[in-house]
């Protein structure tokens, strides 16, 4: 059986050469959003590999899978492809290691007061001994508790790294159960069997917040999680707690977080995502003391090309063999 594959992504020629080498029975087509393929190619495509370019479902009548180049699917909801019921698969599982490393980098930088140290560097001011002791003494990680909201492949990898520093880990997921994700692509290093985290269902989030010295938000953006961490939830955190958001804008109330950072109830924040991206040049976050700001880079994966190729090859093989697909989105759950 010959499958037709269409890609709208600017991947290198070598990537497509390797795909054709590994899947010689697949008809490989490339396009750009500015130059859509001929109607006959669209009509024949079995697997569409894309990010933002989403044709009308009526234009792809043979489509059997949309393979996204993103972990989130919020940009697909409301489209005819979403409504069509054609399976959608995400890029999830590519980035657990770099995202966990980013989270731990943020925890370490916040614990060691790097945002405040960066301000001294910017001002070329050397703090006195008293100032250093008062404001730059690090927070001890051993014995501290990290609450991870969104406990899947990335959460488990964050947990693995956090426990090496002696941290206690509380994980929050929809069910709070350890569920083997047999149809999920995963490049993380921690398995369910060796995970020491204490898990909670999302309806016990308040309990986790009260115990979290470091709150790491990595949950997908869905109807359930939009606005999940608002003023009331932030006020449950221990005084001086730190917040790391590597999920999506819209999950954490930015203004409430800013207010609590400024009044000292939050000890520091690391933000890689925002309500509006790109972050405007006039945003107060760029210069806010106590804040680490990065331009949505936590999920960039050093082995992206090789891992993405493995995922696409696996899903093309499963399509050919009529087997369950990797990373298929649960439309009811929203991810």
Q: Which of 154, 218, 164, 150 is nearest to 189 (CA)?
A: 154
Whether 277 is catalytic is yes
Q: Cα separation of 108 and 321, whole Å?
A: 46
Query: Would you say how long the chain is, in residues?
Result: 335
**In this structure, is the dihedral angle defined by the CA atoms of residues 232, 233, 234 and 240, taken in order, positive or negative?**
positive
> Which one of 49, 153, 160, 248 is the catalytic residue?
248
* Three-class secondary structure of residue 222 per DSSP: coil
What DSSP state is assigned to residue 194?
G
- Tokens representing residue 313 in the block: 């090859």
125-130 contact pairs (CB < 8 A, 24+): none
- Tokens representing residue 51 in the block: 């990010």
- Tokens representing residue 208 in the block: 């986790």
> Which one of 131, 183, 223, 277 is the catalytic residue?
277
Q: Cα separation of 114 and 128, whole Å?
A: 16
Q: Cα separation of 146 and 111, whole Å?
A: 12
> Which one of 64, 296, 318, 331 is the catalytic residue?
296
Whether 248 is catalytic is yes
- Tokens representing residue 243 in the block: 């917040």
Helix-strand-coil split of the chain, %, nearest 5: 35, 15, 50
Which residues make Cβ contacts (< 8 Å) with residue 167, sequence separation at least 6?
Answer: 141, 142, 143, 144, 145, 146, 214
Whether 296 is catalytic is yes
Residues serving a catalytic function are 248, 277, 296
């Amino acid at each position: 059986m010959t499958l037709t594959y269409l890609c709208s992504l600017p991947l290198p020629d070598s990537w497509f050469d390797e795909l054709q080498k590994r899947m010689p029975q697949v008809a490989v087509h490339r396009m750009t959003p500015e130059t859509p393929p001929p109607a006959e190619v669209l009509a024949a495509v079995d697997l569409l590999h894309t990010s933002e370019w989403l044709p009308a479902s009526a234009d792809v009548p043979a489509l059997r899978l949309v393979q996204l180049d993103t972990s989130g699917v919020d940009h697909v909801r409301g489209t005819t492809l979403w409504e069509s019921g054609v399976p959608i698969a995400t890029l999830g599982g590519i980035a657990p290691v770099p995202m966990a490393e980013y989270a731990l980098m943020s925890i370490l930088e916040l614990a060691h007061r790097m945002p405040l140290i960066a301000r001294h560097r910017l001002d070329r001011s050397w703090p006195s001994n008293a100032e250093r002791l008062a404001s730059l003494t690090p927070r001890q990680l051993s014995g501290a508790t990290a609450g991870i909201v969104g406990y899947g492949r990335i959460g488990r990898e964050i947990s693995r790294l956090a426990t090496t520093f002696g941290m206690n880990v509380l994980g929050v997921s929809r069910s709070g159960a350890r569920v083997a994700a047999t149809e999920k692509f995963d490049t993380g290093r921690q398995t369910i069997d060796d995970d020491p985290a204490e898990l909670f269902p999302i309806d016990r989030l308040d309990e986790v917040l009260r115990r979290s010295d470091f709150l790491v938000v990595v949950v997908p953006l869905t109807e359930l999680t939009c606005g999940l961490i608002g003023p009331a939830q932030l006020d449950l955190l221990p005084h001086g707690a730190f917040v790391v958001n590597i999920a999506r804008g819209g999950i954490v109330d930015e203004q409430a977080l800013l207010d609590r950072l400024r009044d000292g109830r939050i000890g520091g924040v690391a933000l890689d995502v925002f309500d509006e991206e790109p972050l405007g040049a006039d945003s107060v976050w760029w210069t806010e003391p106590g804040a680490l700001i990065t331009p949505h880079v936590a999920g960039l994966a050093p082995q992206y090309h090789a891992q993405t190729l493995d995922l696409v090859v696996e899903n093309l093989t499963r399509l050919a063999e009529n087997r369950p697909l990797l990373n298929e989105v649960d439309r009811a759950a929203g991810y």
